[in-house]
Structure 1
Amino acid sequence: LRFIQATYDVLPSPINLQLWFGKDPSCPLCTVFIVILVTCSCWAAESGIVGGREAKPHSRPYMVSVQYRGVHSCGGILIQRDFVLTAAHCKYTWGSCTVVLGAHDITKKERTQQRIEVDEYFAHPGFTGNLNNDIMLLKLKKNATLNKYVRTIGLPKKNRETPANIKCAVAGWGLTRANGSRSNVLKEATEKMQFSTECKHIWQKHFNSGHMICTKFTRRDGGVCQGDSGGPLICNTKPQGITAFTLAEDCNNPQYPHVYTKVSSFIPWINKGTGFSANCSLS
């Protein structure tokens, strides 16, 4: 993990924005962790699967493990043969990143896996290290070979809204319980879309309904946690969200909705970015 010091006027409870940390002036003894779980030219917030179930091997061929020095850091999705979509806080400053495609058990060298180095990182120009515009494109050094184990996933339409209470799927290789160990195999869980008004009520100024969506869940069913931010929230077969943040010390606390970057709000930027060469600026 990398920690960047910052001071925030936040909720009195420790919110998961684990990348930056600071003290809440209204609570001198409280330290706020803006969870950003990093290990790669990629920072990170959250998104392992607590509870849930092991995914059927290769049932989600668009899933990507973003790795630094062979260690899983963030999740992502393959949207073109040479582009991965993930979270902007998954960008780190030292070393090089590799993406692993076609994986189920990331601790093994499965014959289905493809390992490709990242050539360029294109974080959204509006991302300044806080929670807004937390989205990034990774340009790969070579095209992925598409087959039944490795496939791209289509994106939602621009500004498409997902109704509350719709069931969605999350997946990742992150923590299997709060403060626990990461999963070697891909896990998945089911969460439901939450009303934006409820998200705003809970997360207050940290939630931007124009760029974010959130989900509700139960402790029994589980959901995202620390381990691979940048993983997808799949609703109606489309990635409606990119995992952004949860409650830091108790990611499985159903009183705090899980928050995702709203993909449909960034479709024009994504389309522009994937149409550019690796040497072009996306700002």
Structure 2
Amino acid sequence: MENDILIFELDEPVSADKVLPMCDKSYANHTIAIAGMGNTKLGADGSPATVLQEAKFKEIVDSTCPVFGPEFSSKVNWSYDNRICLMPEDGGDEKALYRDSGSASYPLDDNEEPICAYGLASYGDKNVTFSVYTRISAYIPWINNFI
């Protein structure tokens, strides 16, 4: 799960008003929204969303993020420098689900508008409500080598 990020080149330019800037700092004290087209339910009933889904989360910035148990965390070099741990803002059971990998997370301003591109869905566990995102700002130097 190291370096879970990619860059792709578009054939045509995209209007600047349709693109979020990359976040360059922590927004842990903001509501973090996630958006994706992954499954809407776990298990056999899970089917891909037919419209873009959005949910509100909060960032966990201390050791209370259970990196999915010792059997999983031993395989991952966990660091808050390059990952974001999110859990539902209201304590609900929403999370990034199967087929959400690569989906966006972004902090919201006071008007609930996106501020910047914060993270990309990386991995999660169906037994917990935490989701882990690749922190885009950790890769700004690498990204700048390509743009």
Displacement after TM superposition at 1:166 (Å): 3.0
Tell me: higher relative CO, structure 1 or 2? Use CA pairs within 8 A at least 6 residues apart.
Answer: 2
* Structure that is richer in strand per residue: 1
Partner in structure 2 of residue 133 of structure 1: 3
Aligned length: 133
Matched, 1:214 2:85: yes
Matches within 5 A, 1:157-168: 157=24, 160-163=25-28, 166-168=30-32
Match of 1:187 in 2: 53
Structure 1 residues 147, 200: CA separation in 2 closer, same or farther (over 3 Å shift)? closer
Secondary structure of the residue that 1:139 maps to in structure 2? coil
- Segments of structure 2 that go 5 or more residues without pairing to the other structure are 109-114
| Separation of aligned partners in 2, 1:147 and 1:194 | 31
Match of 1:29 in 2: none
Cα distance in structure 2, aligned partners of 1:138 and 1:227? 19
Identity across the alignment (%): 26
C-alpha RMSD of the superposition: 2.3
Q: 2:117 aligns with which of 239, 247, 257?
A: 239
Residue type of the alignment partner of 1:269: W
Deviations 1:161-209 (A, max 9, x none): 232x531100111100112011111111111101242236655342232
Deviation at 1:214, TM superposition (A): 0.6
TM-score normalised per structure 2:
0.78
**Gaps in structure 1 of 5+ consecutive residues:** 1-130, 275-283
Q: Work out whether residues 189 and 221 of structure 1, in 8 Å CA contact, stay in contact via their aligned partners in 2.
A: no
Counterpart CA distance in 2 for 1:263 and 1:167 is: 17
Q: Of residues 127, 143, 146 in structure 2, which corresponds to 1:270?
A: 143
Rg larger in 1 or in 2?
1
